[in-house]
Amino acid sequence: MNAKVKQHCHDYSRQFGDQNSLMSLVESHDVAGLLSALGHEGAKNEPMFSVSLCPRNSKYSTREFLTKNKSAVERSCELGHLDILNLFLINGCSPNLPTSHGRLIHTVLTTLKTQRHLVDNGRAFVTLKLMLARNCDVNVKSFDHKSALMLACELADPAILKVLLRHCSHWQLSFSDDGREASPLQMVCMQGSSECVRILLKRLSPADINNSHGKLTPLLMALMVLRHNMTYISRASGYQDALSKAQHQLVAIVEMLLNAGADPNVGVVQDPRDNLQPPSFNAICCALDVANDCEAFKNLLSHEAKKLSFLYVGLVRLFGFSGATVGGSENVETLKERFPRVQSVISELAEFDALRQKISPLCNSFRHAPFSLMELSRKSIRLQVARCNKLGHLDNLPLPRKLKDYTLFLTF
């Protein structure tokens, strides 16, 4: 055995002994013992924080080898001992340490899903800031093909998402992992975090917002969760108030997506009750289904849950203002048969469509997507003002009074 091989074996055995001693201190959460071990003279020069590299001729893959030979750093993370992880980082541990999940950042974010109290009390945010300050590379995919941004969106914590976005490349915003076929925006829509959606929308274009991974756009994803929650509210009497708060968040998400340029006529939600629906019907059907169910189960709902009925009806109107179409009179009658408790709102949608057809000839602009009623109203008001130069002539426009007042307020 030559000298290099002997030295390597000696270093590996010393490293293995260090890892065992650190592992026992980590598992017992002995902070004082760790401080003593880390403060020992020359401790920083020993390979305490390194990991054993998988041999070239090993029968295990890199991930299998790292899983079987976990470091004390990764173990402290899995146990939720972030105070110990911070000690390791301060004393020279690399934030890009390879782990069984990929890198240390992936292990931290994955662990926080089962250690939610560390997110709520702010300790996770402190650890992530410490890692980022030490040049943590967040633009690396995990072994499960997940980006750090996707893992953060699964947590749906605004503070963590905001600080991580400062270091993320743009490819992470539209990247979908192979298993779930979801983008980060779709993930936060499913989680129902309106603040996280607001943070992501600042970095996304309308094309990104309307991009669908799988069959659902982010808008339709939020609507599906809204509809599923409505089913749970009618059956879970003890959790109606909590679910009502979640519904408020989802309605806010839908409103933000529509205002940011989400097109309700893009994407397909296959409704088993009607296989011949055009794509533009599906978003409307989701919103109408929620409003109709709320009216149907009103006697079973709590006081807070009953308040949502006005919110759901307003959501349907919002789709009408945003350019969603309902088709001809036959389709309108079909909708009224399917959703009998919200027939008045369906009539308003039909009126919105008729008004949009009257206003469209007043605008000389053309584009593939239909103009929303609000956008057309503003254009019509500007044209009317330019022609007559008198504010009193605004009443001549074929618009509802409330829409005129609201548009006039926003325009001037």
The closest of 111, 120, 200 to 153, measured between CA atoms, is 200
- Range name among 243-247, 318-322, 338-342, 402-406 with the lowest pLDDT average: 402-406
Coil, helix or strand for 390?
coil
**Residue 159 burial by CB count (10 A; 0-12/13-18/19+): exposed, middle or buried?**
middle
What domain range includes position 101?
Answer: 15-139
Predicted confidence (pLDDT) per residue in 65-103, tens digit: 677 778 888 889 889 999 999 988 988 888 999 898 989
Q: Does residue 372 register a pLDDT over 50?
A: yes
- Give the confidence band of 250 by pLDDT, cuts at 50, 70, 90: very high
Looking up residue 87, the CATH number of its domain turns out to be 1.25.40
- pLDDT score for 359: 65
- pLDDT > 70 in the chain, percent: 68
The two tokens of residue 54 are 């998988």
The closest of 130, 135, 165, 136 to 149, measured between CA atoms, is 165
- pLDDT score for 81: 92
Distances (CA, A) of 327 to 61, 291, 357: 56, 20, 12
Q: Name the pairing type of β-strands 102-103 and 98-99.
A: antiparallel
- pLDDT score for 7: 40
The closest of 5, 86, 105, 78 to 38, measured between CA atoms, is 86
Whether residues 189 and 316 share a domain: the answer is: yes
Q: In this structure, is residue 295 part of a structural domain?
A: yes
- pLDDT score for 2: 42
Dihedral over Cα of 32, 34, 35, 37: its sign: positive
Longest CA–CA separation in the chain, Å: 99
Whether residues 62 and 190 share a domain: the answer is: no
- pLDDT score for 12: 36
The segment with the largest mean pLDDT, out of 155-169, 172-186, 389-403, is: 155-169
Whether residues 359 and 391 share a domain: the answer is: no
Query: What value does the mean pLDDT of the chain take?
Result: 76
Tokens 């057309």 belong to 376
Q: How far apart are CA 14 and CA 156, in angstroms?
A: 42
Whether residues 204 and 260 share a domain: the answer is: yes
Q: Does residue 162 register a pLDDT over 90?
A: yes
Position with higher pLDDT, 374 vs 9? 374
Whether residues 221 and 88 share a domain: the answer is: no
- Give the confidence band of 268 by pLDDT, cuts at 50, 70, 90: low
Model-level pTM? 0.76
Q: Of the candidates 139, 160, 193, which is a domain's last residue?
A: 139
Whether residues 246 and 124 share a domain: the answer is: no
Beta-bridge partners for 103: 98
Whether residues 266 and 406 share a domain: the answer is: no
Whether residues 343 and 400 share a domain: the answer is: no
Predicted confidence (pLDDT) per residue in 110-151, tens digit: 999 999 999 999 999 999 999 999 999 999 999 888 899 999
Report which residue type is found at 187. Answer: M
Q: Does residue 343 register a pLDDT over 80?
A: yes
Query: How many domains does the chain fold into?
Result: 3
Dihedral over Cα of 18, 24, 26, 30: its sign: negative
Predicted confidence (pLDDT) per residue in 283-299, tens digit: 888 888 888 888 887 77
Whether residues 289 and 397 share a domain: the answer is: no
Whether residues 130 and 238 share a domain: the answer is: no
392 CB neighbour count, 10 Å cutoff: 7
Tell me the CA end-to-end span of the chain in Å, nearest whole number: 86
Q: How far apart are CA 329 and CA 340, in angstroms?
A: 16
Q: What are phi and psi of 95, to 5 degrees?
A: -70, -10
Whether residues 74 and 23 share a domain: the answer is: yes
Eight-class DSSP state of 371: P
Whether residues 189 and 322 share a domain: the answer is: yes
